[in-house]
Structure 1
Amino acid sequence: MVRLRKLTYYVAASIDGFIADPAGRFDFFPIEADVMAAMNAVRPEAVPTAFRAAIGIADDTPNRSYDTVLMGRHSYTPGLEAGLTSPYAHLRQIVFSTTLTSPDPAVEVVAADPLGTVRKLKQEDGLGIWLCGGGTLASHLLPEIDELVIKQYPLVLGAGIPLFADAVPAHRFSLEEARTFESGAVVLTYACPSS
């Protein structure tokens, strides 16, 4: 039996379920040392390439959980504006956008059919697939999301971009783990029972 790769939506969120403010900013989420150390031990590949050395992740550190990252245009744009055309150079990078052209040969821009693309990716050999954002893309990909890993920070935004930005049918997940941290953050891991 062929084992399919798993799609994980791994993202930071506020207590009230927002991954960004109404303007799409997410730089207010705290970088808590305790959360960072725990998550980087399991998912070092989720740290952008430009910051890995600064926090002690060597260039030759193997990817542990993912070898592919998926982004919506709004998730990709902040790095692009900062001059990071290939933010996760240590991963296969796919950006879903109908308006963007690839500014870097290492970034694949896909204009249509996110679900079909993910279904093909799942058939390939490799590690897991990381959906790093955003909420609209997550809504499209919900039928293929096998795992949610939510770094929930003790912030309330009141408005913004929710975990799932479009209306979606009810989709049940089961809580696999809840890790609490001294900083007040909680990392919640949910699995899709049908995966």
Structure 2
Amino acid sequence: MRKVVLKMNVSLDGYISTPSGGLDWVFRSFDSGLEQYIVNLLWQADIHIMGRKTYDVMSEYWLTSTDSYAAPMNEIPKVVFSRTLMEANWKNSRIGQSDLEEELAFLKLQPGKMILAHGGAGFAQSLMKLGLVDEYQLMIHPVVLGEGIPLFKDMHQALPLKLLDTRVFDAGVVLHVYQPASSLKYRH
């Protein structure tokens, strides 16, 4: 069975963006090692999943980008989960055919490599609350935002995690790879 991997950039104090959604702080601590790691991670998936907001931003940007992330982002199939998006025009993308839990159960049973989830906060939190994340790849950046949009929000039960791996990159980003320590589904 394929696993769902959630890849997120996180500030030291647990935020994934500024209150207004800004991400400029993420790029201050990128280095060539981190870039290569992420490119390799992107190629390890054969499906990328995301919510509508992330889809809107990514589809606009990656269509014309020539940077190292562009090839895997454009070539690997994508499934966007949205109740409002009417069509998915980004190359190799489609709208999920059913609800998130049902569609991911179907995708996980298909042969292939991992399913890589790209956040936005709302989409990531939905995956976590439904217990659909099999592995967390958290890139902890050396910055404290003080406020913003948290990765872990409204988790009404503890989410025990098992540390699988860590890696420190030259610019100070620390990768933490975790898997859920139990198979409980965390719901409201």
The TM-score, its normalising length taken from structure 2, stands at 0.80
- What's the % identity of the aligned pairs? 30
User: Greater shift after overlay, 102-111 or 148-157?
Assistant: 102-111
| Aligned positions of 1:120-135 closer than 5 A | 120-135=106-121
**Is 1:14–2:3 an aligned residue pair?**
no
CA contact (8 A) 1:97 1:111 kept: no
Unpaired runs of 5+ residues, structure 2, are: 65-69, 184-188
Q: Which amino acid aligns with 1:37?
A: Q
Q: Does 1:91 align with 2:79?
A: no
Unmatched runs of 5 consecutive residues or more in structure 1: 47-62
| TM superposition shift of 1:79 | 2.5
- The equivalent residue for 2:56 is 77
Displacement after TM superposition at 1:165 (Å)? 4.3
* 1:188 positional shift: 0.4
- Residues in 1 aligned to 2:4 and 2:147: alpha-carbon distance in whole angstroms: 27
Q: What residue in structure 1 maps to residue 103 of structure 2? A: 117
Moved more, 96-105 or 140-149: 96-105
Question: Is residue 144 of structure 2 the alignment partner of residue 156 of structure 1?
Answer: yes
Deviations 1:68-122 (A, max 9, x none): 111112212223444739x722211011112222234632123752111111111
Which residue does 1:53 correspond to in 2?
none
Report the counterpart of residue 24 of structure 1 in structure 2: 21
Paired with 2:94 and 2:49, the residues of 1 have a C-alpha distance of: 10
Indicate how the Cα distance of structure 1 residues 73 and 23 shifts in structure 2: closer, same or farther if over 3 A, else same.
farther
Alpha-carbon separation, structure 1, partners of 2:163 and 2:12: 16
**1:74 aligned partner, one-letter code:** K
- Give the Cα–Cα distance (whole angstroms) in 2 for the partners of residues 74 and 66 of structure 1: 21
- Aligned residue in 1 for 2:173: 185
Q: Is the 8 A contact 2:74 2:91 kept in 1?
A: no
- Structure 1 vs Structure 2 CA RMSD: 2.4
Matched, 1:170 2:158: yes
Q: How many equivalent pairs are there?
A: 172
Residue number in structure 1 paired with 2:186: none
> Compared with structure 1, are the counterparts of its residues 105 and 28 closer, same or farther at alpha carbon in structure 2 (3 Å cutoff)?
same
Q: Report the TM-score, using the length of structure 1 for normalisation.
A: 0.77
**Pair 1:168–1:92, CA change in 2 (3 A):** farther
Match of 1:54 in 2: none
